[in-house]
Structure 1
Amino acid sequence: MQTINKNKGGRKLKSNPKKYRHVFRLTESENNKLLALFASSGMTNKASFLVSMLLDRQVKTVKVDVTALQYHATLTKLFNQFRAVGVNYNQIIKLCNQYFSEDKAKRSISKLEEYTKDLSKLCYYIIKLTKELEEKHLNSKL
């Protein structure tokens, strides 16, 4: 007689099923501390987080500095505006050389150079502030 393996359906069996359960109780302050640790870990599953904590696995905690993120976003916007100014600068120079007389083009370009010097001073100030931020806040938290 031949043995026929029929598929009975259902879920596939796990190779290492979790079948042991442990229950413990916490006070309100302990629970708040545990939830804070869970939130800072970045994990999405509380059971996996607890197992990691109990069995001495390494748990990754992520601390986000909101002010640093806001500063970075503002700096990125400013950088994009500087790029746009650079593009406009090139277009204005081309147009001045193309449509204006030599004297008028020189006067217009000299005004543009003054504005560029002001932008350069502003860039220097931004770089100085960024270095101060890194030294005071970011490096001290690492």
Structure 2
Amino acid sequence: MQTTSKNKGGRKQKSNPKKHRHVFRLTESENQRLLTLFASSGMANKANFLVSLLLDREITTVKVDVGVLQYHTLLTKLFNQFKAVGVNYNQIVKLCNQYFSQDRAKRSISRLEEYTKDLTKLCYYIIKLSKEFEEKHLNSKGKV
């Protein structure tokens, strides 16, 4: 006996059938925006448009490191304090020159210069620590 395959009829089987389905919901404004993008794309099939929109574009993921975020926040606060110190420094020098005698103004400003040198050393130390932190934590992580 010979076995012959009978044609059952119907559609031809696709070589790569689409079996997986994903559903999502949109608000009115999001739906309108999506339809506008679809219309401007010139594509005839909305499903193909959505697949190309999702899969053909490069998606970057960002991992938030809490330690880095806290470090950045503290560094920003410190920077703002440095700016405030600079403003106060200018105001003090102006007031010393305006209201003090020349000798007293020189003494006050020289003391202020010593504090400024200490602040400069601290600033260089902060910059050094920041560079070490960047090299250790930020540059060592691979790009996604």
TM-score normalized with structure 2 length: 0.59
What is residue 127 of structure 1 aligned with on the other side? 127
For residues 100 and 57 of structure 1, the distance between their equivalents in structure 2, rounded to whole angstroms, comes to 67
**Closer, same or farther: CA 57–103 of 1 in aligned 2, 3 Å:** closer
Larger CA Rg, structure 1 vs 2: 2
Question: Cα deviations across residues 68-122 of structure 1 (Å, max 9, x unaligned)?
Answer: 1111111110000000000000000010001000110011001100100010000
Task: Please tell me the residue identity of whatever aligns with 1:117.
Answer: K
1:138 maps to a residue whose letter is L
Alignment: residue pair count: 96
For 1:75-90, list aligned pairs within 5 A: 75-90=75-90
Task: Say if 1:96 and 1:140 are closer, same or farther in 2 by CA, change over 3 A.
Answer: same
TM-score, with structure 1 as normaliser: 0.60
- Counting aligned pairs with the same residue, the percent is 79
Q: Does 1:94 align with 2:94?
A: yes
Q: What is residue 20 of structure 2 aligned with on the other side?
A: 22
Equivalent residue letter for 1:131? K
> In the alignment, residue 20 of structure 2 is paired with which amino acid?
H
Q: Could you tell me how far 1:59 is from its partner in structure 2?
A: 3.6
Q: List aligned pairs for 1:1-142, cutoff 5 A.
A: 22=20, 58-142=58-142
Provide the aligned C-alpha RMSD in A: 2.4
Query: Structure 2 unaligned runs (5+)?
Result: 1-17, 23-50
User: What secondary structure sits across from 2:86 in the alignment?
Assistant: helix
1:138 and 1:21, CA in 2 relative to 1: closer, same or farther beyond 3 A? same
Greater relative contact order structure (CA < 8 Å, 6+ sep): 2
Runs of 4+ in 1 over 3 A off after TM superposition: 20-24, 54-59
